[in-house]
């Protein structure tokens, strides 16, 4: 491979940045521009005229971390309108506060309106989409593993360990106990009918109110995705 595998001249999908010691201020502006076209390639360590300058070895890790950090921080981004004409028209009508203010405000105020909820997700595809997870104040959705969720789904009324395993199609009792039963009880999603006697031959298991709530929420999400 030659010294210039990407070509020696900049174009619509190729941009050079000297960036020997740090990222240039125009780095994220270029990313936004490429995202609003058909993508592109940014080459660091190369001057505008194609001269290879290189990147300082001690700056590589720092710049890599900076790219990852700023790329995932909605509070530090350069907004770029998909349709500048419409954006300018709406701004003149007073419909926009400023370009990008919506993303910043949602990110800034979301923790106050939905404490404990996951961070908002912004998808810049053919259509810009914002996903805002909501959790009632003071209620934090537990992190439920796929194994625990499967157990919640098959548990109907009061069932014995053997009955639950059969419904799940599991033959390994230890695997079931460690990854399904104990985790469900630990998170308060499942409870024993005979408290304090886990080895009782009459022992059965049932969903708690919390478990029923988590299961209902997951089923609502499935229904929405299928619409």
Gap between the Cα atoms of 210 and 213, Å rounded = 5
Note the Cα 174 to chain centre separation in Å. 33
Compute the distance between CA of residue 155 and CA of residue 158 in angstroms, rounded to an integer: 7
Domain assignment of residue 117, given as a range: 94-131
Cα-to-chain-centroid distance, residue 188: 26
Same domain, 114 and 152: no
Domain membership of residue 81 (yes or no) is no
Shared-domain flag, residues 126 and 55: no
The answer, yes or no, to whether residue 95 has pLDDT greater than 80, is no
Confidence class of residue 50 from pLDDT cuts 50, 70 and 90? confident
Please tell me whether residues 212 and 189 are part of one structural domain.
yes
Residue 56 lies in a domain: yes
Element (H, E) at 129: strand 128-131
Residue 219: give its domain's CATH number. 1.10.10.10
Give residue 140's pLDDT. Answer: 46
Averaged pLDDT for residues 2-18:
75
CA distances from 227 to 92, 221, 222, 224 (A): 38, 10, 9, 5
Give the whole-number percent of the chain exceeding pLDDT 70. Answer: 70
Query: Is residue 168 located within the same domain as residue 208?
Result: yes
Q: How many domains does the chain have?
A: 3
Q: Which two tokens stand for residue 61?
A: 């890790």
201 assigned to some structural domain: yes
In this prediction, residue 227 carries a pLDDT of 41
Q: pLDDT grade, residue 161 (50/70/90)?
A: very high
**Does 165 reside within a domain?**
yes
What average pLDDT does the segment 40-67 reach? Answer: 85
> What confidence tier does 145 reach under pLDDT thresholds 50, 70, 90?
confident
Distance CA 222, CA 227 (A): 9
For residues 150 and 127, state if they share a domain: no
In a domain, 176, yes or no: yes
Q: What is the pTM of this model?
A: 0.38
Q: What angle do CA 141, 68, 76 make, to 5 degrees?
A: 80
| Angle, alpha carbons 158-160-166 (nearest 5°) | 115
pLDDT of residue 221: 47
Whether 187 is in a domain gets the answer: yes
Q: Does 76 map to a domain?
A: no
| Within a domain: 9 | no
């Amino acid at each position: 491979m030659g010294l210039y595998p990407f070509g020696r001249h900049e174009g619509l999908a190729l941009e050079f940045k000297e960036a020997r010691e740090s990222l240039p201020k125009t780095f994220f502006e270029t990313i936004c521009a490429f995202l609003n076209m058909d993508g592109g390639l940014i080459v660091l360590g190369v001057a505008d005229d194609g001269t290879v300058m290189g990147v300082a070895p001690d700056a590589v890790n720092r710049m890599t971390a900076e790219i990852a950090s700023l790329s995932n921080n909605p509070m530090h981004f350069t907004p770029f309108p998909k349709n500048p004409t419409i954006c300018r028209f709406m701004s003149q009508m007073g419909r926009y506060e400023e370009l990008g203010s919506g993303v910043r405000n949602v990110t800034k105020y979301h923790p106050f309106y939905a404490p404990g909820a996951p961070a908002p997700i912004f998808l810049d595809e053919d259509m810009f989409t914002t996903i805002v997870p909501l959790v009632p104040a003071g209620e934090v959705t537990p992190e439920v593993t796929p194994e625990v969720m499967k157990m919640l789904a098959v548990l109907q009324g009061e069932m014995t360990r053997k009955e639950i395993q059969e419904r799940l199609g599991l033959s390994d009792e230890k695997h079931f106990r460690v990854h399904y039963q104990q985790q469900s009880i630990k998170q308060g999603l499942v409870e024993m009918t005979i408290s304090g006697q886990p080895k009782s031959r009459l022992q059965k298991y049932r969903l708690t109110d919390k478990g029923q709530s988590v299961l209902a929420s997951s089923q609502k999400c499935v229904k929405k995705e299928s619409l």
